[in-house]
């Protein structure tokens, strides 16, 4: 066993993170001339969020992953309470109440942190189940799945009410990936998919054929949100149309920093990739995608190296949600997927998303250092 400092940071993770930071700051800065004056200092706020994120990552390294797993249910309860409180005391924007107001810095979105708490909680639950039942009977597995679905349903329902459809989808993706890595038999996946598919079929049937009933049940706001999602192929909407113009007109080298030619809503957050692609062109876009792929492969490598089974489940959840957000965010900015409030990790402006991923990075550093200690 090697004597490795618990605060050691691998260059293979630090280097792409540094590039993400540079890309984020310059891209957010490039939105200044197209946004109101109140938004001109967002790049400075992002630097502050990054600094807070570094402190959070090192705090996670100081506590260790074992502390997180041992207190998983406490973190889960804190997450659920925050989702309840935001419905009553949160600020409303774009017909959704998803954020707490933080003076001088902006807002905090509890659903972003709920992703982490869910990963930590499911990691512990799956580990406990596999250690208790070496060869589980079908009834044991069924009871376990019911417990998991109950744990996932509570934050999903609360987040759906806000509404934040993107976060709910991420909760489900985290759950499926972690259960798959945890060794759950395929028949339970098919059963769960069948049940969810049935609910979705009923939901869509009401939306398409009983719209008055849909509005009565879910409200006008959610109806229009669904309408935007189901009509995602319509490129005449301002957001997608102008995003495609910004990207399509950038050519090989791009327009240059702070020269994005046209405004589109949420350009500093959900559509930050369009800003970066507009500034740096095809070369910059491909370079960013290569950096993200390298970063993801590095995390997968750490997953293969770790001997701690709970860490293996956790990093599977981390990689799953990271890949989903990367692929979905870029795809929606070029019209391949419906537009939802899904940010580009480490690049988009926003304290909640950034801090949540910095906390996850702290967990990854712990996993990396643990694997190095036991490497011959």
Section 307-327 average pLDDT: 91
Q: Which residue has the higher pLDDT, 234 or 355?
A: 355
pLDDT of residue 141: 85
- Beta strand 106-108 pairing with 96-102: antiparallel
pLDDT of residue 335: 87
Q: Which helix (H) or strand (E) holds 18?
A: helix 11-29
Q: What is the mean pLDDT of the chain?
A: 86
List Cβ neighbours of 3 (8 Å cut-off, separation of 6 or more): 373
Q: pLDDT over 70 for what percent of the chain?
A: 91
Its pTM stands at 0.88
Using pLDDT thresholds of 50, 70 and 90, give the confidence band for residue 273: very high
Rounded to 5 degrees, what are φ and ψ at 97?
A: -115, 90
Alpha-carbon gap, residue 184 to 171, rounded angstroms: 18
Section 17-27 average pLDDT: 95
Q: Kindly tell me if the per-residue pLDDT of 98 is higher than 90.
A: no
pLDDT of residue 81: 95
Q: Where are the beta strands (DSSP E) in 54-147?
A: 91-93, 96-102, 106-108
Alpha-carbon gap, residue 333 to 221, rounded angstroms: 23
**Cα–Cα separations (whole angstroms), residue 222 to 91, 214, 363:** 17, 9, 36
What are the DSSP calls for 239-297, one per residue? HHHHHHHHHHTSTTT-S-TT---S--TTTTTTTHHHHHHHHHHHHHHHHHHHHHHHHHH
Q: Kindly tell me if the per-residue pLDDT of 376 is higher than 50.
A: no
260-269 confidence digits (pLDDT tens): 888 888 889 9
Alpha-carbon gap, residue 76 to 242, rounded angstroms: 40
Q: Kindly tell me if the per-residue pLDDT of 3 is higher than 80.
A: no
Q: Kindly tell me if the per-residue pLDDT of 163 is higher than 90.
A: no
pLDDT of residue 275: 94
Q: Kindly tell me if the per-residue pLDDT of 282 is higher than 90.
A: yes
């Amino acid at each position: 066993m090697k004597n490795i400092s618990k605060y050691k940071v691998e260059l293979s993770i630090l280097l792409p993170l540094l590039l993400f930071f540079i890309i984020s700051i310059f891209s957010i800065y490039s939105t200044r001339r197209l946004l109101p004056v109140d938004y001109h200092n967002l790049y400075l706020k992002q630097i502050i969020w990054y600094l807070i994120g570094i402190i959070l990552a090192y705090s996670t390294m100081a506590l260790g992953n074992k502390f997180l797993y041992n207190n998983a249910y406490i973190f889960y309860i804190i997450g659920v309470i925050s989702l309840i409180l935001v419905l009553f005391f949160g600020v409303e924007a774009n017909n959704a109440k998803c954020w707490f107001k933080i003076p001088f810095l902006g807002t905090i979105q509890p659903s972003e942190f709920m992703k982490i708490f869910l990963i930590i909680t499911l990691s512990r639950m799956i580990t406990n189940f596999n250690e208790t039942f070496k060869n589980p009977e079908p009834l044991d597995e069924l009871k376990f799945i019911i417990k998991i679905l109950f744990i996932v349903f509570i934050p999903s329902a609360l987040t759906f009410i806000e509404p934040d459809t993107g976060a709910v989808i991420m909760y489900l993706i985290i759950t499926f990936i972690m259960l798959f890595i945890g060794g759950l038999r395929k028949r339970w996946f098919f059963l769960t998919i069948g049940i969810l598919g049935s609910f979705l079929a009923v939901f869509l049937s009401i939306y398409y054929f009983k719209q008055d009933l849909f509005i009565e049940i879910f409200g006008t706001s959610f109806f229009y949100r669904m309408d935007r999602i189901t009509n995602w192929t319509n490129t005449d909407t301002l957001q997608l149309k102008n995003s495609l113009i910004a990207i399509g007109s950038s050519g090989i080298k791009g327009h240059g920093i702070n020269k994005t030619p046209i405004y589109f809503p949420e350009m500093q957050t959900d559509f930050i990739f369009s800003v970066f692609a507009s500034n740096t062109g095809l070369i910059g876009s491909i370079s960013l995608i290569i950096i993200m792929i390298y970063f993801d492969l590095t995390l997968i490598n750490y997953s293969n190296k770790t001997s701690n089974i709970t860490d293996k489940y956790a990093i599977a959840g981390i990689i799953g949600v990271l890949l989903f957000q990367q692929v979905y965010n870029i795809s929606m900015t070029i019209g391949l997927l419906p537009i939802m409030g899904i940010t580009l990790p480490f690049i988009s402006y926003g304290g909640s998303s950034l801090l949540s991923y910095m906390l996850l990075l702290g967990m990854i550093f712990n996993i990396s250092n643990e694997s190095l200690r036991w490497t011959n």
